[in-house]
Amino acid sequence: MIDNIRRDVYEEGAISIIKLIEVLRGLTPEKRGRAKELLERSYEVSYLDNRVILKYCELYDGLKLKGILIPGVDLLIAATAIANNITLITKDRDFER
């Protein structure tokens, strides 16, 4: 799963619906439609489903017991990758936890 999209490097893979939203919200309204279309053609979009929701809850419970919490959107991205057996590529240090 691609978490940090770079303009100069293309890697095959998937993108979480959460990351897709994060990317699109940072663009001007005029660019969003085209960017969404390009990202959806370039990457498989991983949506939230029951497997992701249950994995999110499992991860949340485990981190909470350890007193370690990460932002909810990052936890959703991690749960999406784990539930879909996809390697997560990111520079975000929250995922090290």
> Which residue ranges make up each domain of the chain?
14-86
Residue 18 has pLDDT above 80, yes or no: yes
Question: What average pLDDT does range 17-22 have in this prediction?
Answer: 94
pLDDT band at 69 (very low <50, low <70, confident <90, very high): confident
> pTM for the complete prediction?
0.77
Residue 68 has pLDDT above 60, yes or no: yes
As to burial, measured by CB atoms within 10 angstroms (0-12 exposed, 13-18 middle, 19+ buried), residue 15 is buried
Question: What average pLDDT does range 33-52 have in this prediction?
Answer: 95
Residue 3 has pLDDT above 60, yes or no: no
CA atoms lying within 13 Å on the CB side of residue 78: 21
pLDDT of 8: 55
Domain range 14-86, its CATH number among 3.40.50.1100, 3.40.1190.20, 3.40.50.1010, 1.10.287.70: 3.40.50.1010
Element (H, E) at 33: helix 29-42
